[in-house]
């Protein structure tokens, strides 16, 4: 059968069809560099309209390149072609009609006639944009990989190591060559059992990821704690192609936490525990004693007349004396009992599960005897008059606070009866307790009316001593006893359930005062108000405070709320919730007495804080011992890292101020600048600094 061609094929031009279908740029120019032909892909890549008429427009090579590229074409590529090479290959950058860069992989060919005379030049180019983009992404990924401070391990689907980054080497000590081809088992320490790894792999199988703390071993054998996160990458079929492990070393962070904890619980002078440690141990011991029906004895002892020695011989000798006496006490005390230094010349000894009262009095007696022995201080001989007070749990107290108060009451009794003796707390003597009750009643009426006032202690800029703000400190003048320290009546108010009302009074009074200052035309300082954790335990607290400020039409920024670290540690749930709400509403929150609690750094970073206040004890000891100095440095660093404001409390002299300023602390509060001032005096200061 004769085949009939379709009509259209009669004028079929295969070359043209190929040119039009090609995805490459194809362009032909004459020897004057005039564009003779551009295929559709070329028009598309160069953003040229498909109906652009080359004959009419006189488009030249020069129009398609940046000047430097054109120069290269003209001075290098075309001459080489014409000199007989006939072909050039390489990367060449075009500019499209909008001036956008179009990198191309080009092949340029010279056409000649039968005699070898050049006729035209044709260029064929592949768009390189996608490849360039991928290359740029790869470069970026490599940069991240190489510069990450986290160690990174990439393995294949069978956990065989394919890549590690420089941080891996830095942390583990293994070079890339040593690690490649091995499995991450090379880092295992024997800190975890097989069950641990099984759970980890199960989680990866179930969820494609795992995160947690792992103890690993470095090349030098040392074991370190790391935070590890493992993710897996699957291919299109769902098979695991790679595992990516990212880890950072937690050792240093933990060491800092441990250092802060140790410092916060120890007395640098004697190496013994401090008041914070005692509180902790007491609470724990009381809890345990209740459950196991054990008995506790708490002895509080006073070295006697240390102040006289300090005044006459100076504090260096005094420190030496205290250290010496503490060594004597240690000799009398059993290893298992808790011995701490709770004041400059006060020590406490907690004895858990003693046999008989007689044993306790024996210890008290021994303590007095060794402390009465003569001490040689250089050329001087001194003899002290120690006193000891003892209280028992559960006979004398129902909780740890009461136990400590009663032991101290007994100590007071021993001192009153002429020192060099010890006294047991006894019920008849609990005249004290009755006094406390009376105090509590007086406080109840104070909340309603007279007796309370606020003092304001200025906070200043360390740089020039200028006024920055102030802390409102509560004062209570008892009708008979006169002025009492908040350190005494605030705990009482907390125990008696009065603190919320008192706290409300403080907040309201502060607002009234701020409005009065505003009306007098003074620049408002930021006023810090101390909050008890009991106030934060109220679910409505944040809202209540918001309403209060609205009622007085005050900006939230003018208040700062101080909360002590130890207070917060006791109650974490509702108190934290309130703090978060306060922060959300725009209130500023300061962590007071920082360093005395035992919040971990990770816990701290979760708190919604604006400010840290370094506890006074560190500022005092900073000049005398390097540990306190280091802790101050660490806290300053910490505040910088967490972008928190930082106030040093209790700055008492110029030396401390200079040192703090040099260390990078900017704000301070303390007797060196101002004592807490009565309202009228602070108002005068405000008037002067507003002028």
The site for ligand C2E, by CB under 6 A, has a size of 25
60: β partners: 34
User: Measured from the CB of residue 481, what is the shortest distance to ligand C2E in angstroms?
Assistant: 16
Binding-site partner at residue 9 among ligand C2E, Mg ion, none, CB < 5 to 8 Å by type: none
For 566, phi and psi rounded to 5 degrees? -65, -40
For 240, phi and psi rounded to 5 degrees? -75, 125
Interactions with Mg ion, residue window 544-573 (CB under 5 A): 562
User: In this chain, which of 24, 257, 302, 593 binds Mg ion, going by CB under 5 A?
Assistant: 593
C-alpha gyration radius of the chain: 40
In the bound state, the residue with its beta carbon closest to ligand C2E is: 670
* Euclidean distance between the first and the last CA atom of the chain, given in angstroms as a whole number: 114
282, 298 Cβ separation under 8 angstroms: yes
User: Measured from the CB of residue 432, what is the shortest distance to ligand C2E in angstroms?
Assistant: 21
- Choose one: 361-369, 399-407, 516-524, 527-535; the region binding ligand C2E (CB under 6 A): 527-535
Q: Does 473 bind ligand C2E (CB under 6 A)?
A: yes
Interactions with ligand C2E, residue window 203-262 (CB under 6 A): none
For 74, phi and psi rounded to 5 degrees? -70, -40
Which H helix or E strand runs over 227?
Answer: strand 223-234
Strands 467-478 and 482-484: antiparallel
Long-range contacts of 229-235 (CB under 8 A, 24+ apart): 230/200, 230/204, 232/204, 232/208, 234/208
User: Measured from the CB of residue 644, what is the shortest distance to Mg ion in angstroms?
Assistant: 15
Binding mask 645-684 for Mg ion (x = CB under 5 A): ----x-----------------------------------
Four-CA torsion 59, 63, 65, 69, nearest 10 degrees = 100
Say if residue 613 is exposed, middle or buried (CB neighbours under 10 Å; 0-12, 13-18, 19+). buried
User: In this chain, which of 260, 447, 474, 579 binds ligand C2E, going by CB under 6 A?
Assistant: 474
Distance CA 615, CA 159 (A): 50
User: Measured from the CB of residue 447, what is the shortest distance to ligand C2E in angstroms?
Assistant: 12
Interactions with ligand C2E, residue window 631-670 (CB under 6 A): 649-652, 669-670
User: Measured from the CB of residue 531, what is the shortest distance to Mg ion in angstroms?
Assistant: 9
Distance CA 387, CA 364 (A): 9
Distance CA 660, CA 670 (A): 13
Binding-site partner at residue 265 among ligand C2E, Mg ion, none, CB < 5 to 8 Å by type: none
Binding mask 553-582 for ligand C2E (x = CB under 6 A): ---------x-x------------------
User: In this chain, which of 532, 566, 599, 659 binds ligand C2E, going by CB under 6 A?
Assistant: 532
Binding-site partner at residue 670 among Mg ion, ligand C2E, none, CB < 5 to 8 Å by type: ligand C2E
CB 139: neighbour CB atoms within 10 A? Answer: 10
Which H helix or E strand runs over 631?
Answer: helix 626-641
- Choose one: 148-156, 296-304, 332-340, 480-488; the region binding ligand C2E (CB under 6 A): 480-488
DSSP 186: G
Nearer to ligand C2E, 273 or 595 (CB): 595
Which residues sit at the interface with ligand C2E, rule CB under 6 A?
A: 457, 473-474, 485-487, 490, 503, 506, 530-532, 562, 564, 592-593, 616, 649-652, 669-671, 676
Which residues sit at the interface with Mg ion, rule CB under 5 A?
A: 530, 562, 592-593, 649
């Amino acid at each position: 059968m004769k085949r009939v061609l379709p009509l259209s094929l009669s004028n079929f031009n295969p070359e043209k069809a190929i040119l039009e279908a090609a995805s490459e740029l194809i362009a032909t120019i004459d020897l004057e560099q005039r564009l003779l032909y551009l295929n559709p892909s070329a028009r598309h890549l160069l953003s040229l309209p498909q109906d652009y008429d080359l004959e009419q427009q006189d488009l030249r090579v020069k129009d398609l390149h940046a000047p430097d590229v054109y120069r290269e074409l003209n001075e290098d590529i075309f001459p080489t072609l014409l000199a007989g090479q006939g072909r050039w290959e390489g990367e060449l950058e075009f500019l499209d009609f909008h001036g956008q860069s179009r990198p191309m992989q080009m092949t340029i060919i010279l056409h000649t006639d039968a005699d070898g005379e050049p006729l035209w030049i044709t260029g064929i180019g592949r768009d390189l944009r996608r490849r360039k983009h991928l290359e740029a992404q790869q470069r970026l990924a490599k940069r991240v990989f190489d510069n990450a401070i986290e160690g990174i391990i990439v393995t294949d689907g069978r956990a065989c190591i394919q890549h590690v980054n420089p941080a891996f080497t830095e942390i583990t000590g293994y070079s890339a060559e040593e690690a490649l081809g091995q499995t991450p088992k090379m880092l295992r320490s024997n800190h975890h059992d097989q069950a641990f790894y099984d759970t980890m792999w199960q989680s990866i199988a179930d969820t494609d990821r795992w995160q947690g703390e792992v103890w690993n071993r470095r090349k030098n054998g040392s074991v370190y704690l790391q935070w590890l996160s493992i993710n897996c990458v699957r291919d299109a079929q769902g098979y695991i192609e790679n595992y990516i492990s990212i880890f950072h070393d937690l050792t240093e962070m933990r060491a800092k936490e441990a250092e802060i904890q140790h410092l916060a619980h120890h007395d640098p002078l004697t190496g013994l525990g401090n008041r914070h440690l005692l509180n902790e141990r007491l609470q724990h011991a009381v809890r345990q004693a209740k459950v196991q029906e054990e008995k506790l004895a708490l002895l509080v002892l006073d070295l006697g007349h240390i102040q006289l020695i300090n005044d006459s011989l100076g504090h260096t000798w005094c420190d030496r004396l205290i250290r010496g006496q503490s060594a004597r006490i240690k000799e009398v005390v059993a290893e298992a009992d808790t011995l701490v230094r709770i004041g400059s010349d006060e020590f406490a000894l907690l004895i858990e599960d003693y046999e008989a009262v007689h044993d306790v009095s024996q210890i008290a007696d021994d303590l007095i005897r060794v402390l009465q022995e003569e001490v040689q201080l250089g050329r001087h001989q001194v003899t002290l008059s120690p006193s000891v007070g003892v209280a028992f749990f559960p006979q004398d107290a129902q909780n740890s606070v009461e136990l400590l108060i009663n032991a101290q009451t007994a100590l007071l009794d021993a001192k009153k009866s002429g020192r060099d003796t010890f006294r047991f707390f006894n019920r008849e003597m609990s005249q004290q307790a009755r006094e406390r009750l009376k105090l509590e009643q007086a406080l109840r009426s104070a909340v309603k009316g007279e007796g309370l006032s606020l003092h304001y202690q200025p906070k200043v800029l360390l740089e020039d001593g200028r006024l920055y703000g102030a802390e409102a400190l509560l004062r209570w003048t008892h009708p008979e006893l006169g002025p009492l320290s908040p350190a005494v009546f605030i705990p009482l108010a907390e125990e008696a359930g009065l603190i919320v009302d008192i706290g409300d009074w403080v907040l309201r009074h502060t607002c009234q005062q701020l409005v009065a200052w505003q009306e007098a035309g003074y620049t408002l300082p930021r006023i810090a108000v101390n909050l008890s954790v009991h106030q934060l335990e109220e679910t409505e607290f944040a809202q209540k405070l918001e309403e209060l400020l609205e009622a007085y039409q005050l900006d939230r920024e003018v208040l700062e709320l101080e909360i002590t670290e130890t207070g917060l540690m006791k109650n974490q749930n509702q108190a934290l919730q309130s703090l978060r709400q306060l922060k959300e509403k725009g209130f500023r929150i300061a962590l007071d007495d920082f360093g005395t609690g035992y919040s971990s750094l990770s816990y701290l970073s979760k708190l919604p804080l604006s400010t840290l206040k370094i506890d006074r004890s560190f500022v005092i000891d900073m000049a005398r011992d390097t540990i306190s100095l280091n802790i101050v440095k660490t806290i300053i660093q910490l505040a910088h890292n967490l972008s928190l404001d930082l106030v040093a409390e209790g700055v008492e002299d110029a030396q401390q101020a200079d040192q703090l300023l040099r260390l990078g602390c900017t704000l301070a509060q303390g007797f060196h600048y101002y004592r807490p001032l009565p309202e009228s005096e602070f108002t005068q200061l405000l008037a002067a600094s507003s002028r």
